[in-house]
Amino acid sequence: MRLLITRHGQTDWNLVGKIQGTTDIELNQTGIKQAEVTRDKLLNENIDIIISSPLKRARKTAEIIADGREIPVFCDNDIVERSFGKYEGFKLTHDEVDAIKRRGEIGVETDAEFLIRIKRFVKKIQEKYKDKTVLIVSHRGTILGMCCYIDGLPICKENTIKYKVENCSVLEYEI
C-alpha cells in the first residue's frame, strides 16, 4: 500500500501555539489556502481513497483536496488528535505536555492508549487497502505517532522531533 499522510491546514490556535487536541477548531483562511495548494500538488497522484479525522480542521482539508476529483472521503475516529482534556486551549511546552501525559489525568490520552488506536488504524487500512494509494488527513500528534509506529520507533520526544509535520505537508510511505 502506498500511504500519503498530510496534516490539516492552519487554524487560529496553530498560530498562537495553543493545544487543540480534540477541540473542534475550524481552518482559518491560511489553512484553506494551504489545503488548496496541497490539492494542486497532489492533482497528478492516483489516490484511491482519502481517510480523514472527523474533526473539522482535518475533514475540511480532506474535502478541499478531494474537490473536483472522484475520490471518496471517509472519516475514522482512530485518527483524531490526542485528547488533552482540560489542557486544550493552553500554550504548553513539549516537556509540560509529556509530563501531563505521564500523570494519567482523566481526559488526557496516555501513550499506551494512543498507540493502541494508531496500531488498530494502520492494521485496518493495511488489510482493507493493501493494493491502493491512501491519503490520510490527520493531526500533528497522530501523524507523529503513525510515523513512529510504521518506522518501528517508540513514541517519544527524541523520535518525534525527527519528523517535519507542518500544516499540509505530505509524507509518503510504502507499507
Active-site annotation holder among 26, 63, 81, 96? 81
Backbone angles phi, psi at 74, to 5 degrees: -120, 150
Three-class DSSP labels, the chain: CEEEEEECCCCHHHHHCCCCCCCCCCCCHHHHHHHHHHHHHCCCCCCCEEEECCCHHHHHHHHHHHCCCCCCEEECHHHCCCCEHHHCCCCCCHHHHHHHHHHCCCCECCHHHHHHHHHHHHHHHHHHCCCCEEEEEECHHHHHHHHHHHCCCCCCHHHHCCCCCCCCCEEEEEC
Contact 142, 163 (CB under 8 A): no
Active site residue 81: yes
Q: Is 45 a catalytic residue?
A: no
Which residue in the list 8, 88, 109, 139 is annotated as catalytic? Answer: 8
Known catalytic residues are: 8, 81
